[in-house]
Chains A and B, each alone.
Chain A
Amino acid sequence: MTYLGHLLAHLRKDLRLEWRARDSVNGMLFFALLVVVVFALAFDPTAYPTIARQISGGLLWVGLLFASMTALNQSWSRELRNGVLDAHRLAAAPASAFFAGKALANFLFVTAVEVVLAPVFAVLYNLHPLGRTSVLLVILPLGTWALVGNGTFFAALSLRTRNRELLLPLVLLPISAPALLAMIQATTAVLTGESEPGLWINLLIAYDIVFTTLCVLLFDFVLRED
């Protein structure tokens, strides 16, 4: 079996599990909706359209970040049942294919949430973007991969520790800070139309390349550590 074969096998398995249970996507979607509603309680977005444009990029990403964090831990704790993780550790398949398959699956789940959430968000916050909205089609996948790639890695890492739910945000948030900054700035630039998002998109691309490489290289240490 080639590397790609292993990767696709892992991806298929995760997609099939999710298709049968639909736990992560439903949970994330409802969670993100709740975050959007709670933020709307904090200020009235329809009464202040300029402020809404300025801050809703940040709100959208914060909602997605929190929502994806609830699903990331689940995606690994699935593997703990019946000693599946130990079987993976003994398997001859490369550890990084295991990581990449799961990261891709999580990426697809969070993207599905975004596809539903983004229009709802625009309606609830009465958003009229002033920049080119088509650029969001580049920013959203890049930002999602930055969150989910590192998130899947650190969820696997915190799986091996005592306080696994607590540890994931503690490690993920500081390391994702530059990516969060870039995706929020890029989204805000598109929504307000006041600046060009190009620089931030480049930063996101660089961040994704650097950290995906690190994750793939170092995942073996995390999986096989005892």
Chain B
Amino acid sequence: MQTSSSTPSKNTQLFAGLWLLATLAVLAVGYRQAIFVAPAEATMGDVFRIFFYHVPNASLALVPPYINLLGSIGYLYWRGKNPDRAAKSDALAIAAAEITLMLTTIGLVTGMLWARPIWGIWWTFDERLTTYLLLWLLYVSYILLRRLSSSGQAYTLAAVVSIFAAVDVPITFMSIRWWRTQHPGPVLTSGKVDHSMLPAVFWNLAGWAMFSLLTLSFRYLLERRRQRIAVAQAEAFLTDDPAVFAPAAGVPLRGY
């Protein structure tokens, strides 16, 4: 097992650093647009400005579940044929699941902060809030399953649950829609957003998309490194070579 590849190359590090700087720059522009440039909303006033953070994050949260599904299908397809590709797919799946959790959490928290002054309540079981809560719960249970199963089985079981979760998402979406609705409909695509507010929306959407991509890649590389350490430790255990344990010192080996 080559240990040199456990550290990303200089080029990757440089690219990640530049990407981080670009992300921060776009987010800074987005912040300026949202807080200083965009006009205050007619009825809600300045409270409305949380919209520029709530909508991008909540919208982006619908993308990583599909990455998670693709990773899981890839894992199930390759696990008997190409172990390396299967491990990569699984790393992508767990990274995407955690990004889903991050984005839905931001969406839920900003939504609650917004609902309190506007609707007068922190929470209500309306269409979209319930859908996002269930989306959040689905991926929490996916991540819990990985934590609670031993490392040998976790990948397959998690991949199976991921497929169930991905099929469940549209069904949940439709059923909750039939159930009730209080949340305002999609404002971005209906053309109800004033043109003076669009730059703030798109800068923040781009910034959070870049941030999500960065976090996703980072988490993916982290998981790949954990996989390599686990393989190296297993091999060292088999060959009884204590030297290979050394680079893993201080790294907790969890079944995760």
Measuring CB to CB, which residues of chain A are less than 8 angstroms from any residue of chain B?
A: 150, 157, 160-163, 166-167, 170-171, 173-175, 177-178, 181-182, 185, 199, 203, 206-207, 210-211, 214, 218, 221-222, 225-226
User: Nearest residue in B to A225 (C-beta to C-beta)?
Assistant: B156
Q: Which 3 A-B pairs have the closest CB atoms?
A: A161-B149, A178-B175, A174-B137
When the two chains form their complex, are residues A174 and B163 in contact, meaning their CB atoms are under 8 A apart? no
A206 contacts which chain B residues (CB < 8 A)?
171
Cα–Cα, bound, A123→B158 (Å): 44
Q: Which of B31-39, B90-98, B138-146 contacts its partner?
A: B138-146
B interface: dominant SS: helix
Q: Report how many A-B pairs have Cβ atoms within 8 Å.
A: 86
When the two chains form their complex, are residues B134 and A177 in contact, meaning their CB atoms are under 8 A apart? yes
When the two chains form their complex, are residues A210 and B171 in contact, meaning their CB atoms are under 8 A apart? yes
When the two chains form their complex, are residues A175 and B165 in contact, meaning their CB atoms are under 8 A apart? yes
Q: Which of B134, B152, B163, B168 has the most CB of A within 10 A?
A: B168
A interface: dominant SS: helix
When the two chains form their complex, are residues B171 and A222 in contact, meaning their CB atoms are under 8 A apart? no
Knowing A181-B175, A214-B164, the reply to whether A221 touches B156 (Cβ < 8 A) is yes
Q: Does B248 contact A (CB under 8 A)?
A: no
8 residue pairs bridging A and B, Cβ less than 8 Å apart: A171-B161, A174-B140, A174-B165, A174-B168, A175-B141, A178-B172, A211-B164, A222-B156
Instruction: Looking at the assembled complex, report how far the CB atom of A110 sits from the nearest CB atom of chain B, in whole angstroms.
Output: 21
Cα–Cα, bound, A73→B179 (Å): 32
Q: Does B178 contact A (CB under 8 A)?
A: yes
When the two chains form their complex, are residues A211 and B167 in contact, meaning their CB atoms are under 8 A apart? yes
Cα–Cα, bound, A207→B167 (Å): 10
Cα–Cα, bound, A207→B172 (Å): 10
B165 contacts which chain A residues (CB < 8 A)?
174-175
When the two chains form their complex, are residues B157 and A182 in contact, meaning their CB atoms are under 8 A apart? no
B178 contacts which chain A residues (CB < 8 A)?
199, 203
Q: Does B148 contact A (CB under 8 A)?
A: yes
Q: Which of A161, A174, A199, A218 has the most CB of B within 10 A?
A: A174
* Beyond A175-B138, A185-B179, A211-B167, 18 extra complex contacts between A and B, CB < 8 Å: A157-B161, A160-B153, A161-B148, A162-B149, A167-B144, A170-B144, A171-B141, A173-B137, A174-B168, A175-B168, A177-B134, A178-B175, A182-B175, A211-B164, A214-B163, A214-B167, A221-B159, A221-B160
Q: Does B210 contact A (CB under 8 A)?
A: no
Instruction: Looking at the assembled complex, report how far the CB atom of B5 sits from the nearest CB atom of chain A, in whole angstroms.
Output: 28
A226 contacts which chain B residues (CB < 8 A)?
152-153
When the two chains form their complex, are residues A174 and B134 in contact, meaning their CB atoms are under 8 A apart? yes
Knowing A157-B157, A161-B153, the reply to whether A218 touches B163 (Cβ < 8 A) is yes
When the two chains form their complex, are residues A166 and B134 in contact, meaning their CB atoms are under 8 A apart? no
When the two chains form their complex, are residues B164 and A167 in contact, meaning their CB atoms are under 8 A apart? no
Q: Does B102 contact A (CB under 8 A)?
A: no
In B187-205, the 8 Å CB interface with A consists of: none
When the two chains form their complex, are residues B157 and A178 in contact, meaning their CB atoms are under 8 A apart? no
A161 contacts which chain B residues (CB < 8 A)?
145, 148-150, 153, 157
User: Nearest residue in A to B157 (C-beta to C-beta)?
Assistant: A157
Q: Does B176 contact A (CB under 8 A)?
A: yes
Cα–Cα, bound, A39→B249 (Å): 53
Cα–Cα, bound, A181→B179 (Å): 8
Q: Does B214 contact A (CB under 8 A)?
A: no
Q: Which of B76, B171, B178 has the most CB of A within 10 A?
A: B171
